[in-house]
Structure 1
Amino acid sequence: MDQLVNRAVEKMGEVPRPEHPRPDLIRQSWINLNGEWLFGIGEGDPEEEIIVPFPPESELSGINNTDFMPLVKYARRFDFDLDVVRKRVLLHFGAVDFEARAWLNGSYLGKHTGGYSPFSFEVTDEILEGENLLSLEVRDDNRTGLQPCGKQSTKRESHGCIYTRVTGIWQTVWLEVVGKRYIDNLMVGRPRDGQNIWAMVDLEGRANHGTIEIEVSAEGEVLGRGKAPASDHAKIPIEMGEPRSWGPGSPELYDFTSTLRSGEEVVDRVEGYFGLRSVSIRGDSMLINGERIFQRLVLDQGYYPEGIYTARTDSELKRDIEISMEMGFNGARLHQKVFEPRFLYWADKLGYLVWGEYPSWGMDIFNPEACNNMISEWSEVVRRDLNHPSIIGWCPFNETPRDQNVDLIRAVYELTRQLDPGRPVIDTSGYTHVVTDVYDCHDYDQDPVSFRKRHQSIVDGGTWTRSTQNHPGNDAEYAGQPVMVSE
C-alpha cells in the first residue's frame, strides 16, 4: 500500500490538483487541502494513506480498491495561521459521493447528500490557530436505488457501458477566508429584451448596509464598472461599451473583480470571469447569438484511466477538449456525470459547446427519497454552473423507461426552466419525452444510407416520424422543436 501511495505522490508532486477549483469565483485567501489523508473502510479508524482528491477505487489514490465500500472514513491534519480577525472561514468540498458527514476538531459540522454537487460548512468557531483535525464519514451504496450514480456499476465489476464506481472525495477540498458578510455567488448576463449588462450578486451575512461594486476588464484594461447598495440579492448595472459575444471560434471572456464595502472598509472581494452569449429557439432552430450553429458533439463520459472520475492534472482536462476539437467536433454532451468546474473553465476558454447533464441512472424514479435526493442536488448543480457560457443547455434525465415517472420529469423540467430561463432543457434524453425544448433521439445505426433516410424528412422541413423514436407509444407528440440525434 505504501508503494502505491508513494507512486501516486511522485506523479502528483507536493499538492495534487493545486489549481483553484472555482476559477469563476476566486478569493486570494484560500488553502488547498488536497494531498495525503488517512483513509479507512468500515467502522474502524482511518489508518491507510490516501491521496485526495482521487477516489479510493483509482490508482492515483494509492488505495486502488474497486470493491463495494458502503462506509469509508477520512482524516486530515492541517495547520492554520491566517489572520481571521473580523473574518469567517469556510470549508469547501467540490464533490463527495454520496452522503458525507464532517467534523472539525471533534465538532460536528453537518451533512450533505449527493455525490456530484459542491457543499461547504462555516468553521469560524471550530478552527484553531495551529494544528487542526478534519474528519469525514461517507456512506455510498449505489445498489439501493436511492442515489443517482450515472455510469457507475452496481455490480462488482464493470460491464458493457457501465464502469468502475467512485466512492468518497473526488474533487478538491479547500479552506477559504471570507468577510463577515461575503459574496456567495455572482452571475453576469444581459436580459434578452435589453441592452444593459447586469451582475446578479448573492450576499451571505446579516448586515444590510454598504455597497457592492464590480469592475470589468479584458487583458488588463478596465472596460466598465457598476455599483449598487448591498442586499441579499443585489442587481448591479454595468456601464461599458458594446461587449463582444462568446461563441465557438471566438470565446470572448471578460475578467471581473467584485468588492463588498462598508464605508471605506473592504469586507469581501472575489475575482472571476464571464462570457456573454445568447441561446434561443426559433421554430425548429436552436440559435447561438442569433445564428444557427450545427452542433457536432461527442458523448463525453468523463472517465480517466488512472483517476476514474478525477483527471490527474488540470492540463488533462484541457487536453480532452483540444483532442475533440482537433477531430472536428465543436462541443460535447457531458454524459451521466456532473463535470468539475475546471473542465467547464477550459470549455469557456476554448469556445467549446457543452450540454450539462445529471447522472440520473441508478435511481428508482418512483421512490420519493430518491426523487428528493435528485431534485435537491440537480438544483445545486444548475446554480453552480449558471455563469459558464459554454453550457448551452440542460438535460436532467437520460433514457428513462417506458413506465417513467411523468410527473417527476415534468416537475424537474419546470424547475430547471425557473432556475435558468436562458437555456433550453431536454427533459429526458433518448427514449421518451414528456415536455421538452429540444426533441432528441438516440440512433446507433452504423449504415449512413439508412440513417439518412430515417432522418431526412425533418432536415427537409417535414415532420418527425414515429420510425425515429425508440418507444413510439410513450413519446410526446413532436411539436416543431429543434431536433438532435444526441447519441
Structure 2
Amino acid sequence: MANASKDCRTHPTPQFARSEWLNLNGEWDFAFDDQNRGEQEHWYVQQNFDKKIKVPFTYETKASGIGEQTFHPYIWYRRSFAIPSHLSDQRAILHFNASDYITKVWVDGTFVGQHQGGYTRFSFDITAALTQAVEHELVVKIEDSNSCAQPRGKQRWMAENFGCWYVQTTGIWQTVWMEFVNATHLQSIKMTPDIDTSSITIGYQVKGAEAKSNLALKTEIQIEGKTIKTFIQSVDTSASEMTINISSDTDEWKVKLWHPNHPNLYDVTLTLIENETAIDEVYTYFGMRKVSIENGQVLLNGSPIYQRLILDQGYWPETHLTPPSEAALIEDIDRTLEMGFNGVRKHQKVEDPRYLYWCDKKGLLVWSEVAATYTFSDEAMDCFTKEWLDIVRQNYNHPSIITWTPFNESWGVSRIFTEKQQQKFTEAIYHLTKAIDPMRPVIVNDGWEHTISDILTLHDYEELGSAFTERYADKEKIVTNQVAHNRDKFALAKGYKYTGQPIIISEYGGIAFDEGSGWGYGNQVTNEEEFFERYRNITQAIKGCDYITGYCYTQITDVQQEINGLLTEMRQPKVDLKRVREMNQWS
C-alpha cells in the first residue's frame, strides 16, 4: 500500500489523488499468444504463462526483462494481489494509466471489461468479480495490430524501423494501480480558471449521488500552505459545478497567477460529506492563467509570450515510451529549462501524468498532441476521434498545457490540401475540441496545409539563415500560398484563407552530427563549431522575422536511429548547453 502525499507528486494521477492506493507495477507472469488461442482455451483461469515481465515496461524493452522487438499481436499478463482487510468493505477500482491497444481484463476468472486506445487512462470497478479468496487473480489480454487506422504516432507498422518511426509499443506501458472508495464517491473534476473574475469554476461528477439525500462537497483551497477559501455546496445530482472567488490578501494583486516565470499553484482538497461524515477525499491543484490570441500574438495572462519550444518525443533507450523513473522525467524538464527553452511540443505522445504535474510545478509550457493514424477511413476517424476527445478531457486541468495539436503534417489526412472530406474531418475535430475546451488554441494540421486553426504553424528545416530570411521576407506570399515554405508544402489547404493568426515555426533545426549512422535533417555537421554556426544563423533568422511569434527546435534527445538531439539517448549533452541557452535568450 502506498500513501499519496498532499502535493500529489507520488500518485499515478497527481491531479486526482486519494491518500490510499495500491501500486500493481512489478513482476507479472507473461505469455505470447500469436495464434490467438488464449480466450478459446480460457487462459484467464488456471493457465501457466511461460515468461515473466516487469510492468509497466513493454516486452520490446530491455527494462521489461524480455527485450524482444518482433511484433506479437496478442499477449497476456497475470499477477495476484490482496486487498488490505481494512478496505474490504470499499469498492475496488482498477486503473490503467496507459495500455496499447485493446485491453481485456479478468479478475478471479470473471471478465470485467475492455478498453480501446493506447494513450488514455481507463478503469474498471472490479468489486463484483472478487471472490472470497485472500489472494485475487488479475489477468490481462492485450490485442495490438499494425493497422494504420489505429492511432500509433511514432510506432512503426513494418518489421524494421524506418525514417523517424521506431519500435512499436505493445501492451501495458504506464502504471497499473488500484484504489478503494465508498460506493458514493467523486468520479471526476473539471477546473476552469478565470483570471478576469479571480475565480475558479469546478465541475464535478459524483458516483452514486442519486441514492443519497444528505450529501455535500467541501472545497478547501490553499496557496503556499495557507487556506484562503473554504466552500461547501450541497450535492443533489451526479453532476454539478461551483464557482469560487479566490481573491485573497496572500498577494498584492489578490490572485497568484501561473506563468513560466512564477508557476504558482493552488492546492485543493475536495471532501465528500454524508450526514457530517467524510466518505471521500481527493487532492488536486490548479493554476490561474489565461491563454488568448490578439493581433497575431499568443497572450499569456494578457501579455504576449514568445514561445521557445523544443520537440520532445519522450523515448528512453531501455524503456522506450515508458519513463524509467520520476527522476528521469524531472531531468528532461530541467534540461529543457537549462537550455533556455520555455516549453515543449510533446510530439506524437501523451506523456505520463507525472510529467505534466512537474511541468505544472516548474512552469514549462506544453503543446499536447495525439498519436497519428496513417490512413483516412471511417475506422480511422472513429478510433482517432474517441481517443483524442478522451485525451482533451483527461488533461484539461493542467495549467502547463496551453495548446492542443490534434493533427501533424497531414498524417492520416494525406489529401487534406484538396479533399473536402478530409478537410471537414479536421474542422469537426477542431470544433469538438473547442466545445470541451474553449480556453486553449487548437492547431489543425501542424506544419502545413491548415484548415481552420488558431495558430498558423510552419515546419521548415532550412539550413541557411540567409535563405530563410529571403523566403519569409514577404509575409503575404507565405499566407496566400504563393510561396511553398517546406519544399512543396503550403501554409493553408485550398479553400481556406489566412485570418490573422499568430505564426510560429513549429519545427526547425534537426541538426545531426556525422556519426556514421543514423539521420537528421539536411547535411550533418562534423564538430561543435559547425553545429553552432548553423544553429545560430537559422535561429537568429527566425527571431529576426518580425511576424513570427515563436519556434520549436527539433529536438531534445536522439531517438533510436534519429540522431538530431541536443542530448544523446542517455541524456548526455552533445554540445555546450550554455551556448544553446544564449541562443535562446538572444533577441
| TM-score for the superposition, normalised by structure 1 | 0.91
> Secondary structure of 2:359's match?
helix
Partner of 2:577: none
Quote how far apart the aligned CAs of 1:469 are. 4.2
Partner of 1:474: 493
CA contact (8 A) 1:402 1:432 kept: no
Q: How does 1:42-191 map to 2 (within 5 A)?
A: 42=33, 43=37, 45=47, 46-84=49-87, 87-128=90-131, 130-141=134-145, 143-191=146-194
1:200-229, CA deviations, whole angstroms, 9 ceiling, x for partnerless residues? 222222335311111011232111122212
RMSD: 1.9
Partner Cα distance (1:355, 1:116) in 2? 16
Partner Cα distance (2:414, 2:103) in 1? 33
Letter in 1 for 2:472: H
Partner Cα distance (1:176, 1:452) in 2? 56
Letter in 1 for 2:497: E
Partner Cα distance (2:129, 2:439) in 1? 40
Counting aligned pairs with the same residue, the percent is 38
1:337-358, CA deviations, whole angstroms, 9 ceiling, x for partnerless residues? 1111111011111100011001
Which of 15, 18, 32 aligns to 1:27? It is 18
Letter in 2 for 1:32: N
Pairs aligned (count): 465
1:432-470, CA deviations, whole angstroms, 9 ceiling, x for partnerless residues? 111111111110101112112323444xx9973521544
Q: How does 1:74-473 map to 2 (within 5 A)?
A: 74-84=77-87, 87-128=90-131, 130-141=134-145, 143-191=146-194, 194-205=197-208, 206-209=210-213, 210-230=215-235, 231-240=237-246, 241=248, 242-362=254-374, 364-365=375-376, 367-400=377-410, 401-404=413-416, 405-458=422-475, 464-466=479-481, 467-470=483-486, 471-472=489-490
Larger displacement relative to structure 2 (41-50 or 318-327): 41-50
Instruction: Rate the CA distance shift 1:276–1:191 in 2: closer, same or farther, 3 A.
Output: closer
CA contact (8 A) 1:463 1:480 kept: no
Of Structure 1 and Structure 2, which has the larger fraction of its residues in strand?
Answer: 1
1:170-221, CA deviations, whole angstroms, 9 ceiling, x for partnerless residues? 0000001112111112233334663332222222223353111110112321
> Secondary structure of 1:199's match?
strand
Partner Cα distance (2:373, 2:379) in 1? 15
Unaligned 5+ runs, structure 1: 1-17
Quote how far apart the aligned CAs of 1:85 are. 6.0
> Secondary structure of 2:62's match?
coil
Unaligned 5+ runs, structure 2: 1-8, 39-46, 249-253, 417-421, 508-587
CA contact (8 A) 1:357 1:394 kept: yes
Partner Cα distance (1:114, 1:403) in 2? 25
Instruction: Rate the CA distance shift 1:23–1:402 in 2: closer, same or farther, 3 A.
Output: closer
Letter in 2 for 1:177: F
Quote how far apart the aligned CAs of 1:81 are. 2.0
Quote how far apart the aligned CAs of 1:145 are. 2.2
Larger displacement relative to structure 2 (310-319 or 222-231): 222-231
Structure 1 runs (4+) greater than 6 angstroms displaced = none
Which of 27, 31, 41 aligns to 1:40? It is 31
Question: Are 1:483 and 2:503 counterparts?
Answer: yes
CA contact (8 A) 2:190 2:204 kept: yes
| TM-score for the superposition, normalised by structure 2 | 0.76
> Secondary structure of 2:307's match?
coil
> Secondary structure of 1:190's match?
strand
Partner Cα distance (1:469, 1:226) in 2? 53
Larger displacement relative to structure 2 (217-226 or 114-123): 217-226
Larger displacement relative to structure 2 (374-383 or 394-403): 394-403
